[in-house]
Amino acid sequence: MPTTRHDVVQQLQARLAGVDSMDEAALEREHVHVLGRKAGLLTAALKSISQLPIEERRTFGAELNQLRQRFESAFEARRRTLSQAVRSQEDDVDLTMPARTTWSGGIHPVTRVIDEIVEIFHRLGFAVAVGPEAETEWLNFGALNFPPDHPAMDMHDTLYLDVGGDPPEGERMLLRTHTSPVQIRTLQASPPPVRVVIPGTCYRNDTFDASHAPAFSQIEGLAVDEGITFVDLKATLIHFAHEFFSPDTKVRFRPSFFPFTEPSAEMDIGCLLCGGSGCRACKGSGWMEILGCGMVHPNVLKSCDVDPERYTGFAFGMGPHRITMLRYGIPDIRMLFEGDMRFLSHFGE
Ligand code: DAH
């Protein structure tokens, strides 16, 4: 406890010097400690004046009052500095920054299209079959009645795998160029009656441009049983077009050629954009090509040990990437591979 006037003034001056470095809590404690009405140091000192000899009262009183003013303005200045510091910290926060949100995943439009197509055939009694993406040359071509010199087998079109050694003809490995080898695998694994759809990724030695991708999806279909005719093929695929696009979609079949079907056809639908009058999307023809199809070639059945005199069947193959582009009017196949959220978010969750 300071005893002399000098001690009191010195102690208060020392405390006054400390005010400038106090934090908010210390500042409030110091305020009470010095200027508190009941037990503040300065308050007590001022109260003690009345006990001093009269000649000392005036000078000591003046000294204390001056100290009180200096404390008050020091407290005030320190408070102002502290609150400005808080405000400038707040200024460092970018209030325009987007809030952190939870991202919910979505189903890719091509996956959505594949699911829908598979579901339509599922309701017609088709099961789903799958096969490997690395395939033998025999299953990808030979068993499907491709002649040994078929241009599709060319290294320019097909991605062959180097698995070492020098495999004999037909046993070379490649990335399947279509889902058709799974027709063979299915028939070899289970005798007719067979009804399957086969979704999967296929690979070709293609450029990656607006309408080609070196990896793309296909959905294959195969139905083999006694008494299956071209009427079954047409009825099934027209039903599919009406379910998938719309009940009033126009459908036509054009003769075509595939080694593994005879006869072969291509199925078109009336252009989804212009309805048939001709536009850029259908190159003026009014039609859009949707899939290839045909009656399973007897040689294909034979390579699966299925008797072509007893059984017949139809097959078809379509490209979900292409169908997705036609359905949603997507101009460039690469948009379906880029994973750009600005594009994908149009397709919902
Ligand atoms: N495999 C053919 C392709 O990749 C598509 C195809 C056409 C599959 C006709 C079939 C079919 O099953 O019957 O181009």
**Pair 302, 318: CB distance under 8 Å:** no
- From 65, 91, 117, give the residue that closes a domain: 91
Q: Is the pLDDT of residue 334 over 90?
A: yes
- Among protein residues, the one with the nearest Cα to ligand 1's atom 8 is 317
CA–centroid distance, residue 157 to ligand 1 (Å): 16
For residue 326, the domain's CATH number is 3.30.930.10
Report pTM: 0.73
In a domain, 47, yes or no: yes
β-pair partners for 288 = 269
In a domain, 303, yes or no: yes
In a domain, 174, yes or no: yes
Kindly write down the DSSP assignment for every residue of 191-220, as one continuous string.
Answer: PSSEEEEEEEEEE-S---SSS--SEEEEEE
Q: Is the pLDDT of residue 267 over 80?
A: yes
Instruction: Tell whether 147 and 39 lie within a shared domain.
Output: no
Instruction: Tell whether 221 and 293 lie within a shared domain.
Output: yes
DSSP letter at 154 equals S
Instruction: Tell whether 33 and 124 lie within a shared domain.
Output: no
Residue numbers of the domain that contains 329? 109-347
Instruction: Tell whether 205 and 120 lie within a shared domain.
Output: yes
**CA geometry: angle 181, 304, 228, nearest 5 deg:** 90
Which residues, including other chains, have CB under 8 Å from residue 348's CB and lie 6 or more apart?
A: 106
**Pair 179, 196: CB distance under 8 Å:** no
Amino acid at 281: A
In a domain, 200, yes or no: yes
Q: Is the pLDDT of residue 1 over 60?
A: no
Residue whose entry in the numeric block shows the structure tokens 């690469």: 334
- d(C-alpha 275, C-alpha 248), whole Å: 10
Neighbour count for residue 184 (Cβ, 10 Å): 22
Each residue's pLDDT tens digit, 189-202: 999 999 999 999 99
Residue whose entry in the numeric block shows the structure tokens 């200096």: 70
Pairing relationship of beta strands 173-175 and 134-136 according to DSSP bridges: antiparallel
**In the structure, what pLDDT confidence band is assigned to residue 2 with cuts at 50, 70 and 90?**
very low
- From 62, 91, 120, give the residue that closes a domain: 91
Q: Which atom of ligand 1 is nearest to the CA of 179?
A: 1
The reported pLDDT for the residue numbered 152 is 81
In a domain, 96, yes or no: no
In a domain, 28, yes or no: yes
Q: Which atom of ligand 1 is nearest to the CA of 221?
A: 12
Each residue's pLDDT tens digit, 101-111: 887 788 999 99
What does pLDDT average to over the chain? 92
**Pair 12, 20: CB distance under 8 Å:** no
Q: Which atom of ligand 1 is nearest to the CA of 218?
A: 4
C-alpha 305 chain-centroid distance: 44
